[in-house]
A and B are shown apart, each in its own frame.
Chain A
Amino acid sequence: MLWWGVLVGALSGILGANSHLLNASLGKFIGIFRGSFLSHAAGALFAGVLLLVGLRSGKLFLHDLPFYYYLGGCLGVCSVAFINFSVPNIGIVTTMIVLTTFQLLTSTLIDLRGWFGATPITITPTKIIGLLLLMMGIYLSLEKRRQAG
């Protein structure tokens, strides 16, 4: 189970990178927000078809689940807007460094406190070293010429 999680987690990064690159290219053709709309609408259509052909494992609406769990997709679109505001002022490198740092710090807090349905996890010294290495790696791998993120 754990190794499946690791494999799928790594795959999620590769798929996410493809998604970033495709969206960056799509944004160049029709604009960032239109690209975001097209990619979300196509995704909803594709997932809708998969649900209709029987790839179901649950129920679309649960009454006892707070409404904000249904708004995750909106947060993605808001983040794109914030990135679009930042990049022309402070550049893609600073934007991505600040963004990933806060993304990782928020993730640490979510794991530690068990927020939003997460199972609380203890943050060990090894995890803190891992976090610092990861942040250093992100800082080193971002270069001035990088255009899309």
Chain B
Amino acid sequence: MARDLLSLFASALAGVLFALMIQLNATLGRSIGLMESVFVVHLAGALLALLVLRRPMNKIVLGKIQKMPPYLLLTGVIGVLTVLSSNYAVPILGILTAMGLNLSFNMLFCAFGDHFGFYQLPVVPISTRRIFGILCSLIGALCLLGG
């Protein structure tokens, strides 16, 4: 019970931190330049992960990296484009509208990804409930944009 409550708190905190991160990154982008901010964001994340892991790479991990599909290494490039686009859109739209668009299109693409099993992840066929949910969120994003 206590662990469940702590988990709910951790999930809420993760949500708050995500929103803060997006706003901090967007303001950083407006202040020091878009590509400069993307570099700083990734460098800060890599340094913290390095601090947590201490030894991020060893022979076993390098062996696993060699065995995984090469396109997975594109994650860094996609990450750069994600932060770049978010840092561009947030100052124009405001964080709430930008988040609305981001989350609804994110869900739409994830549904495609699940349905067709992108990136070797398990196939989860799309359901009527999910289609309705995505439509609902797209209308929600339009309301945020129009309001």
Contacts and interface: CB of A to CB of B under 8 A. Distances in A.
Interface of A: 1-2, 4-6, 8-26, 29-30, 33-48, 50-51, 55-62, 65, 68-79, 81-83, 85-86, 89-90, 94-96, 98-108, 110-111, 115-119, 121, 123-143, 145-148
Contacts of A34: 53, 56-57, 61
B30 A117 contact: yes
Given A14-B109, A44-B42, A69-B28, A140 B96 contact: no
A8 B88 CA distance: 7
20 contacts: A13-B106, A17-B106, A23-B75, A24-B121, A26-B75, A30-B65, A34-B53, A42-B76, A59-B32, A59-B36, A86-B11, A86-B14, A90-B4, A102-B15, A118-B94, A127-B96, A127-B144, A129-B143, A131-B100, A138-B133
Contacts of B4: 89-90
Nearest to A136: B136
Contacts of B41: 43, 72-73, 76
Given A95-B7, A98-B12, A133-B137, A41 B76 contact: yes
Contacts of B99: 103-104, 107
A60 B121 contact: no
Contacts of B13: 82, 102
Given A18-B78, A46-B80, A51-B35, A102 B121 contact: no
A147 B122 contact: yes
Given A108-B96, A138-B137, A103 B15 contact: yes
A83 B14 contact: yes
Interface of B: 3-4, 6-8, 10-28, 30-36, 38-50, 52-53, 56-57, 61, 64-65, 67-68, 71-83, 85-86, 88-111, 113-114, 118-122, 124, 127, 129-130, 132-147
Nearest to A146: B124
A110 B19 contact: yes
A107 B97 CA distance: 9
Nearest to A41: B46
3 closest A-B pairs by CB: A42-B76, A58-B33, A137-B137
Contacts of B130: 140-141, 143
Nearest to B100: A134
B87 to A, nearest CB: 9
